[in-house]
C-alpha cells in the first residue's frame, strides 16, 4: 500500500503571515534611500519571489529606475534588518498547527519549498517553533533553483525523502501553481495569501479558505498524487 503523499508547502503567505515584518523592513530600507513608504495593502501584493524581487517590485511601484548596484545595496540592508526582526509580528496562519497535527496522525510528512533564502526560512520557522515539523526546508539558495522551475519542487521532494509521483503542493500564488503544474504535482491553493488576483482564477486543483479545510483537501487529492509520472 503506498504511503500518504508528502505535503510540500510554500512559506510566505501560505504557512506564515510574514507580510507585517517584510513590509516594515521594506519601508525602513526605502526610508534610508529617501523613498516614500509603500502602503501596506499595496505592498502585500508584491510579496513572492524572494526579497530581491520584493525590492524590485517596490521600486517599480514607485516608478523608480532599477539600478543593479542600488538593488544589491538595498538587498544587503534589507537582510541585515529583517534577520533581526523576522518574527516580530509574523505568525502562522490560524489553524495551521491543528491541521498539521491531523495530517501527521494520518502519516503525512511535510516539507517547505520557498523562494525565501533558506537560512531566513529556517530562522523564521525556528523562532515560531515550526522547524521540526518539516523533513526538508528548501529556499532559493539551497540548490540555486527558484520557483516556478519545477526542479526546485522535485529537489525539495527528494530532500524530504519523498517521491515526486506521490506529493501534493500547497501554495498561495500563481508561481506556486505554475511550479506544481510543471512538476506534474497536484496543488492546493490557499485563499488567504498574497496573490495579486483571486487565486481561484489560476485554476488550482483545490482551493481552501482556511487551514481547517486542508485535511479534507488532501484527502480529495491523495489518489491523484499517487501517480509515478
List phi, psi (to 5°) of 71: -65, -40
- Treating both helix axes as pointing N-terminal to C-terminal, what angle do 51-61 and 19-32 enclose, rounded to 10 degrees? 60
> Is 77 tagged catalytic?
no
Question: Is residue 192 within 8 Å of 93, Cβ to Cβ?
Answer: yes
Question: Is residue 25 within 8 Å of 81, Cβ to Cβ?
Answer: yes
Cell of 180: 506544481
Helix (H/G/I), strand (E/B), else coil: 114: coil
Catalytic residue among 10, 17, 172, 205: 10
Calpha distance 73→43 (Å, rounded)? 20
Calpha distance 31→105 (Å, rounded)? 47
Calpha distance 9→172 (Å, rounded)? 9
Helix (H/G/I), strand (E/B), else coil: 111: strand
Given the C-alpha cell 539600478, which residue does it identify? 67
Beta strand segments in the chain, E:
6-9, 16-17, 91-92, 110-113, 136-138, 167-171, 187-190, 206-208
Catalytic residues: 10
Amino acid at each position: 500500500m503506498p504511503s500518504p503523499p508528502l505535503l510540500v508547502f510554500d512559506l510566505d503567505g501560505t504557512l506564515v503571515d510574514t507580510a507585517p515584518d517584510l513590509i516594515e523592513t521594506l519601508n525602513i530600507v526605502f526610508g534610508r534611500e529617501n523613498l516614500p513608504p509603500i502602503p501596506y495593502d499595496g505592498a502585500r501584493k508584491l510579496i513572492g519571489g524572494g526579497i530581491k524581487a520584493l525590492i524590485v517590485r517596490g521600486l517599480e511601484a514607485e516608478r523608480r529606475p532599477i539600478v543593479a548596484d542600488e538593488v544589491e545595496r538595498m538587498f544587503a540592508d534589507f537582510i541585515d534588518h529583517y534577520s533581526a526582526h523576522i518574527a516580530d509580528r509574523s505568525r502562522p496562519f490560524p489553524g495551521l498547527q491543528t491541521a498539521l497535527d491531523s495530517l501527521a496522525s494520518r502519516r503525512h510528512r511535510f516539507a517547505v519549498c520557498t523562494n525565501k533564502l533558506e537560512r531566513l526560512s529556517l530562522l523564521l520557522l525556528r523562532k515560531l517553533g515550526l522547524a521540526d515539523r518539516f523533513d526538508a526546508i528548501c529556499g532559493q539558495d539551497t540548490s540555486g533553483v527558484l520557483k516556478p522551475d519545477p526542479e526546485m519542487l522535485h529537489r525539495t521532494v527528494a530532500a524530504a525523502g519523498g517521491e515526486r509521483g506521490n506529493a501534493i503542493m500547497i501554495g498561495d500564488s500563481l508561481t506556486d501553481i505554475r511550479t506544481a503544474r510543471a512538476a506534474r504535482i497536484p496543488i492546493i491553493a490557499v485563499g488567504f495569501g498574497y496573490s495579486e488576483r483571486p487565486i481561484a482564477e489560476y485554476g488550482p486543483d483545490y482551493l481552501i479558505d482556511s487551514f481547517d479545510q486542508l485535511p479534507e483537501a488532501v484527502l480529495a487529492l491523495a489518489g491523484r498524487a499517487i501517480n509515478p509520472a
